[in-house]
Chain A
Amino acid sequence: MRYLLTRLGLFVPMLAGVVSVVFLLVHLIPGDPARVLLGEDASPQAVAQLRHNLGLDLPLPSQFLRYLGHLLHGDLGVSMFQNAPVLDLVLARLPATLELAAFAIVVSVCLGVSLGCAAAVFHGSALDLLCLVFAQLGISVTVFWLGILLMLAFSVELHWLPAIGRGVPLSSAFAASLEGRPAALFDSLAHLAMPAVALGMQGAAIICRLVRSGMLEALASDYVRTARAKGVHPFAVTFRHALRNALLPAVTMIGWQFGNLLGGAVLTEGIFGWPGLGQLAVGAFSQRDLPLMQGIVLTFALVFGLVTLATDLAYGLIDPRIGSR
């Protein structure tokens, strides 16, 4: 409990640091949002007037203090290009990205852990080799290319899965299926399948390798030999004893991978027309929509911080020695 409170307490300085660094960076990179907003035929007077209206002609410290003041009241500002509160824009898109990232983690974990286990249990066999090849390919192939290939195979050629779009949000789809309407759930999963696989493949490859080497080490250890000698069922030896110890580095990887997934979501959302935060970020950055850029990065930092906290807490569940120190 104390550990949890300490970690939560560290959030505030972390977010303060992110807010300051991001503010500085977005204001220092070249490119003027007023020019982008007004277009090529903007007169210098119009640009100056708009910069004044947007408060961009104030000294940077004043702009920062104004921004901080609003932030402390929960106000992330108004998007310059969409004329809507940043908080509303972010909250509208965040569920889609979280849904995609969560499913990508499910793909990474299921695929990575099962292939890593199989490779370790059947060490030296053709299956082990196949898993290693998969791991190498998974790390090398870019999410961008993999997405296009998956779309080509499963949508264009086979017509098995829809090529683009999100379908019914997963939460609504679950609720509908519980009410006896499973079609919505199938629609939701069908749209999620390819983007989640494309996004999760790299994580699966990394987790596969980690689980494989962890399991191989565990399976060769004294305590596993003791368990086997005691007549413990092979299933229990593999999963209750060996895998549980091999999982710890993999859990670390899952937390770290989430950060990668948020970044990878930007590319994946563009390929599959997934209406998430990644695409909102691309638009915001390519136009220099300063409040929106800041709001999105802050959101990513917050989400990433919460995920790493959850990861740290998960250690305690897997390894009882951690947390009791």
Chain B
Amino acid sequence: MKGERVGRWLAAARVLALVAVVLIVASGLAAGAEGPRAVRIGTDVDAQSLDPRLQRDTTAYRLNNLIYDGLIQLDENLTPRPDLALSWRQPDEKTWVFTMRRDARFHDGRPVTPDDVVFTFKTILDPALNARFRSLYEPIETVEAVGGDQIRFTLKTPYAPLLNYLDLGIVPKDVGARDLNANPLGSGPFRFSRWERGGRIVLTANDGYFAGRPAIDEIDMIVVPDNTARAQALEAGDLDLIMSPLSPQDVSRLAADRRFRHVHLPGISITYFNFNCRHPVLSDPTVRRAVAMLIDQNTIVQQIYGGIDVPATSLLIPSLRWSYTPEIRQPAYDVDGARGLLAEAGWKPGADGVLAKNGQRLSFTLATHAEDSNRIQTIELSQNTLNQVGIDAKASVTDWPAFIGSVQTGNYDLALLGWTILVDPDRAMYGQLTSSGSLNFGRYANPQVDALLARGRAVGDLAARAEAYQAAARIIAEELPYYVLSYAGFDAFATSRLSGFAADARGFLRGLAAP
């Protein structure tokens, strides 16, 4: 009887094994590649809006850069190159005139005209649209079409960075009931095909593109939120290209794998500590200096970030070569130096071991957001070092909306966060560190810095701009409203199907449009 029972179990097991093998083999046959030149790109978030005026996530930036054209495009060196505009000139420091090409067409066949450009910029400046990047274009007074093929920008004040922001995708002025957020219509090298929400967005090559049809037939932007899963999907052959954000462990493993081409760029983002300059203790530049000397920058960047970022020297960004100099340096990590500085300034250990002066304890909270485990570890390490010298440093980690809400309203002490897409020094400094800047959450105020940043924005000559920004960066490196931790690197890994792949430091993929 028992033998019969065992025999029945074995028979059942054999049938199950056979079914499993059939399924596995069949799935291998069934799992189809898309066309012969389809590129599958992994991304961490689904796009929210494919209207370039309303875009607010990296997936949308990358896709819109392929679906739309701008007046200019930034190349791998972040230098403006002609796109819809063939040439441009500045008759005076408050006027820009662009001459447009006549052979660009939107994907529905209608020509791209100066009126479309005017419409795009007028609408992005409209407060009712709530465009995230409206402030970049606020110095524009008027935009008007001139002669059949020219556009004139008249500025309220001289604004040198403007050209770098004119890669904004141009939308048609009249789309009827079409919702560009979900059904974009551009003139770029790729046209929108379909959007499987939460799954993938598919673009196909624009046959009539003025610079020549791309060699790639189709781009699939596939959403895989988990960074490690995205890396594994590349290794499994389910993706052809992945990019930052990636975990340091996955970056080093993939970098050692010869199957993949590794593109590493210094990036144009920073991770930084933001001091609240109205805090009773942190309002003192000496205390800020001592705290900066207690942040073990090299250990954080090498151990926590796995060396994929670069320790920062100042608020100047190496990728913006024309403005960068390594000679301006923030204070180096020096625990004894920090101790001495605080002692000299009159901070003495109280009864509870915490440094105090005039009845004020040296106590504050380090804050960051929960979505980035590297930032959490950075806070924990820094808290430990600060506690060792007698500073009562607490840590606070909340999710992004709660965190950014408190930072924007000035309800923080010392926050660890970042800035991205810093294609111009103005974008890293003006709004953030001028006294009335809308991004000056810590309320730092220095009239000298105000004057230097205003000059950097106003003068057209690059050398003069660089001088102004370097002078401002020098003051900032001494007074430390910001302590810049690192320049965030950009990493991309591509399979051999993308032999000619090139990205720019923003992680934009215009290089995929090569004919």
CB pair B30 A190 closer than 8 Å: yes
0/1 string, B403-419, CB within 8 A of A gives 1: 01110100000000000
Contacting residue for B438 out of A41, A160, A282, CB 8 A: A41
CB neighbours (8 Å) of A286 from chain B are: 371, 399-401
Query: Does A288 touch B at the CB level, under 8 Å?
Result: yes
In the complex, chain B residues 160-218 whose Cβ is within 8 Å of any chain A Cβ:
179, 181-182, 196-200
User: Known contacts being A270-B226, A270-B229, is A35 close to B405, with CB within 8 Å?
Assistant: yes
- Least Cβ–Cβ distance between B301 and chain A, in angstroms: 23
Query: Does A212 touch B at the CB level, under 8 Å?
Result: no
Interface centre among A31, A270, A273, A280, by most chain B C-beta atoms within 10 angstroms, is A273
Q: Report the separation of the CA atoms of residues A31 and B406 in the bound assembly, to the nearest whole angstrom.
A: 8
User: Known contacts being A33-B401, A81-B48, A83-B181, is A186 close to B26, with CB within 8 Å?
Assistant: yes
CB neighbours (8 Å) of A106 from chain B are: none
Query: Does B56 touch A at the CB level, under 8 Å?
Result: yes
Query: Does A183 touch B at the CB level, under 8 Å?
Result: yes
Closest to B6 in A: A122
CB pair B405 A164 closer than 8 Å: no
Closest to B223 in A: A273
Contacting residue for A31 out of B199, B401, B431, CB 8 A: B401
CB pair B130 A166 closer than 8 Å: no
CB neighbours (8 Å) of A92 from chain B are: 197
Contacting residue for B23 out of A31, A186, A269, CB 8 A: A186
In the complex, chain B residues 206-254 whose Cβ is within 8 Å of any chain A Cβ:
222-226, 228-229, 232-233, 235-239
CB pair A30 B402 closer than 8 Å: yes
CB pair B439 A41 closer than 8 Å: yes
Q: Report the separation of the CA atoms of residues A182 and B24 in the bound assembly, to the nearest whole angstrom.
A: 13
Chain B: interface residue count, which band? 35 or more
Contacting residue for B401 out of A35, A46, A273, A275, CB 8 A: A35
Query: Does A249 touch B at the CB level, under 8 Å?
Result: no
- Least Cβ–Cβ distance between B421 and chain A, in angstroms: 11
- Least Cβ–Cβ distance between A292 and chain B, in angstroms: 12
User: Known contacts being A49-B127, A93-B197, A273-B222, is A190 close to B31, with CB within 8 Å?
Assistant: yes
CB neighbours (8 Å) of A280 from chain B are: 198
Query: Does A39 touch B at the CB level, under 8 Å?
Result: yes
Q: Report the separation of the CA atoms of residues A187 and B25 in the bound assembly, to the nearest whole angstrom.
A: 11
Closest to A81 in B: B48
CB pair A159 B236 closer than 8 Å: yes
CB pair A163 B29 closer than 8 Å: no
- Least Cβ–Cβ distance between A168 and chain B, in angstroms: 9
CB neighbours (8 Å) of A164 from chain B are: 42, 222, 224, 229, 233, 238-239
CB neighbours (8 Å) of A39 from chain B are: 56, 132-133
Q: Report the separation of the CA atoms of residues A50 and B129 in the bound assembly, to the nearest whole angstrom.
A: 10
CB neighbours (8 Å) of A133 from chain B are: none
CB neighbours (8 Å) of B504 from chain A are: none
Query: Does B446 touch A at the CB level, under 8 Å?
Result: no
Interface centre among B56, B199, B235, B431, by most chain A C-beta atoms within 10 angstroms, is B199
CB pair A31 B402 closer than 8 Å: yes
CB pair A161 B222 closer than 8 Å: no
Contacting residue for B127 out of A35, A46, A152, A269, CB 8 A: A46
CB pair A35 B404 closer than 8 Å: yes
CB neighbours (8 Å) of B404 from chain A are: 35-36, 40
Query: Does A309 touch B at the CB level, under 8 Å?
Result: no
CB pair B45 A275 closer than 8 Å: no
Q: Report the separation of the CA atoms of residues A24 and B360 in the bound assembly, to the nearest whole angstrom.
A: 39
CB pair B24 A29 closer than 8 Å: no
Interface centre among A29, A37, A41, A275, by most chain B C-beta atoms within 10 angstroms, is A41
CB pair B130 A50 closer than 8 Å: yes
- Least Cβ–Cβ distance between B410 and chain A, in angstroms: 11
Closest to B43 in A: A273
In the complex, chain B residues 432-470 whose Cβ is within 8 Å of any chain A Cβ:
438-439
- Least Cβ–Cβ distance between A79 and chain B, in angstroms: 9
- Least Cβ–Cβ distance between A284 and chain B, in angstroms: 11
Query: Does A287 touch B at the CB level, under 8 Å?
Result: yes
Query: Does A18 touch B at the CB level, under 8 Å?
Result: no
Query: Does B27 touch A at the CB level, under 8 Å?
Result: yes
CB pair B23 A32 closer than 8 Å: no
Closest to B224 in A: A273
In the complex, chain A residues 197-219 whose Cβ is within 8 Å of any chain B Cβ:
none
Query: Does B157 touch A at the CB level, under 8 Å?
Result: no
CB pair A166 B27 closer than 8 Å: no
Q: Which 10 A-B residue pairs are closest in the complex by CB-CB distance?
A: A31-B401, A190-B27, A275-B198, A275-B199, A155-B236, A186-B26, A273-B224, A30-B402, A163-B236, A163-B233
Interface contacts beyond A30-B398, A35-B404, A151-B236: sample of 6 additional A-B pairs, CB < 8 Å, sorted by A: A29-B402, A31-B402, A37-B56, A155-B235, A163-B236, A234-B5
Can you name 13 A-B residue pairings with CB atoms under 8 Å? A29-B402, A36-B400, A41-B135, A50-B130, A148-B228, A164-B233, A190-B26, A190-B31, A270-B225, A275-B198, A275-B199, A275-B223, A288-B401
Residues in chain A within 8 A of chain B (CB atoms) = 29-33, 35-43, 46, 49-50, 81-84, 89, 92-93, 96, 147-148, 151-152, 155-156, 159-166, 182-184, 186-187, 189-190, 193, 234-235, 269-273, 275-276, 279-280, 282-283, 286-288
